[in-house]
Amino acid sequence: MSLEVKVPAAGESITSANVARWHKQNGETVRKGEVLVTLETDKVSSELEAAADGVLTILVGEGEEVAIGTVIAKLEGGAVAQPAAAPSSSASAPDAPTPLPAAAAAPATGQVIDVKVPAAGESITSANVGRWHKGDGSAITKGEVLVTLETDKVSSELEAEASGTLQILVPEGNEVAIGTVVARITVGAAPAAATAAPAPAPVATPAPSTAAVVKSTPAPVPAAAPVEAPAPRTFELPAAPASSQPAAAPVSDGRTTRKKMSMMRRKIATHLVNAQQTAAILTTFNEADMSAVMDLRKAVQEDFLKKHGVKLGFMSFFVKAVVQALKDVPQVNGMIDGQDIIENHFYDIGVAIGTEKGLIVPVIRDADKKSFAQIEQDILDYAKKAKEGKIAIEDLQGGVFTISNGGTYGSLLSTPILNPPQSGILGMHTIQQRPMAVNNQVVIRPMMYLALSYDHRLVDGKEAVTFLIRIKEGIENPTRLLLEM
């Protein structure tokens, strides 16, 4: 028995499609429900799945443009799929997507496990395949990191659920929907044909025979016995880009280079523009003499490190100073929600951390209840997770106020942008030795400019200035922070 794989109709205005990528090789045994090919039109892309089991004969090679209805492949022979309960044998097709066994049972040799993009929060609908840590066709071990996925907020790593051979379906740089199968693991040894190049035949002309038209589904269905080819039918291709479409490479003319903006950078851009458009942002400035904090750190640093295993940094002082200021000026610890004002009675403080891919703001929970050492440890842990790309979405949610330290990069003064829906953000800057008048004498002191941006819809100027002065007082007299004054 022979089934024809045709290019399906994709709307009245679409008359042709491009064979973008074959997911199976010429002469390979395939199972019902497996993705055979990705087709691209001038509007959308789609994946065609096998309507039955069989041996694939490719008639149209990759990159060829063909008319709707063209036969691009055939399924010959209709090999019968093994039942899920049957033990695997040497004759079993290694790529068969048999259902996963019970959680307690080990995967059987030859079984295929889908590697899907996991859910990453209600507001996240897609992810970018950032980097494959293993090559296509590589032997992998259970627990090994396969791929780094990037969303507009966080990055995460997916590990192998079993040992076997990796088949990559989505290359690096592609943006795919949550739940998309980006790879498959064939449990056991690598199939012999895994590295063989496909040998497509020349383009065939359309023929008015029965078509093995298949539809796009999120995952393969269990293998079944051969069936008669269904009657031709038309359907709209999904509007989302094909998961296997190659990522757009940077384009350069020697003078300029154009490249696709990362998901995180797009999110940051949207977030900042929205902040400017939805809040009345105003910034007030002051400066703090850092002498007391620097002297205290110098005096206790060795003992602090020995006792707590972490260094005493500047950030823990500012976190504590912000907490005290929020207690003294509670209007800043609120936010506008439509026609309502939300008053927060907790102190989860966001600390901005710069990464290679953009700025993230993990949150120190219940900062009012934590010691200086605990705050420093939280910051250190977040910095490590950010460097390794392991920040979780939960780490970034729920803050009531943000601290941004542009001084790390040498910034002398800036006007930070709010982190909606928060009503305030503190900008720290570089410490600079400057002449100051102290007791009618000019002395050189380590000074830091402080900037408080706030939502003027909720916070008045008097409250903002008072808030920033409270921070200044806490930094210049750190014993006040210990006494919560």
Instruction: List the Cα angle 229/230/233 in 5-degree steps.
Output: 135
Q: How many Å apart are CA 287 and CA 463, to the nearest integer?
A: 17
CB-CB contact of 333 with 343 (8 Å)? yes
User: With 80 as the cut, is the pLDDT of residue 1 above it?
Assistant: no
- Domain 1-95+194-240, architecture per CATH: Beta Barrel (2.40)
Identify the residue whose tokens are 């916070």.
459
Closest to 5 in 3D by CA, of 63, 42, 49, 45: 49
**pLDDT of residue 400 exceeding 50:** yes
Higher pLDDT, 431 or 357: 431
Angle between helix 372-388 and 291-308 (nearest 10): 80
* Domain(s) of CATH 2.40.50.100: residues in the chain: 1-95+194-240, 106-190
How far is Cα 158 from Cα 118, in angstroms, rounded to an integer? Answer: 9
Q: Which two tokens stand for residue 407?
A: 């001084």
Question: For the whole model, what pTM was predicted?
Answer: 0.56
For residue 214, pLDDT beyond 50: no
Could you tell me the pLDDT band of residue 265, with boundaries at 50, 70 and 90?
A: confident
- Return the ∠ at Cα 41 (arms to 38 and 42), rounded to 5°: 145
Domain 106-190: CATH architecture, name and number where available: Beta Barrel (2.40)
| Each residue's pLDDT tens digit, 34-52 | 999 988 876 567 888 998 8
List Cα–Cα distances, 430 to 72, 419, 467, 478, in angstroms: 64, 22, 21, 19
Tell me which residue has tokens 């972490």.
310
Pairwise CA distance, residues 418 & 409, whole Å:
20
CA–CA gap between residue 33 and residue 312 (Å, rounded): 58
Q: In what order do the strands lie in the sheet with 71-76?
A: 2-6, 71-76, 54-58, 29-30
Per-residue CA distances from 350 to 315, 365, 420, 452 (Å)? 11, 9, 12, 14
Strands (E), 352-391: 353-355, 358-360, 363-364
What are the residue ranges of helices labelled H in 86-183?
Answer: none
Lowest mean pLDDT among 93-102, 339-348, 418-427: 93-102
Residues of the chain with CATH 3.30.559.10: 265-482
pLDDT at residue number 78: 53
Active site amino acids: 456, 460
Instruction: Please list, residue by residue across 400-420, b when 16 or more beta carbons sit within 10 angstroms of its beta carbon and e when fewer do.
Output: bbbbbbbbeeebeebebbbbb
Q: What is the pLDDT of residue 247?
A: 53
Average pLDDT, the chain: 81
Beta carbons within 8 Å of 194's beta carbon, 6+ residues apart = 137, 165, 167
Map residue 308 onto helix, strand or coil: helix
Instruction: Work out whether the CA dihedral 474, 479, 483, 485 comes out positive or negative.
Output: negative
The reported pLDDT for the residue numbered 238 is: 35
State the Cα torsion 127-131-136-139 to the nearest 10°. -110
Q: Could you report the per-residue pLDDT of 372-394, keeping only the tens digit for each?
A: 999 999 999 999 988 887 888 88
CA distances from 180 to 266, 294, 319 (A): 21, 52, 41
Specify the fold of 265-482. Answer: Chloramphenicol Acetyltransferase (3.30.559)
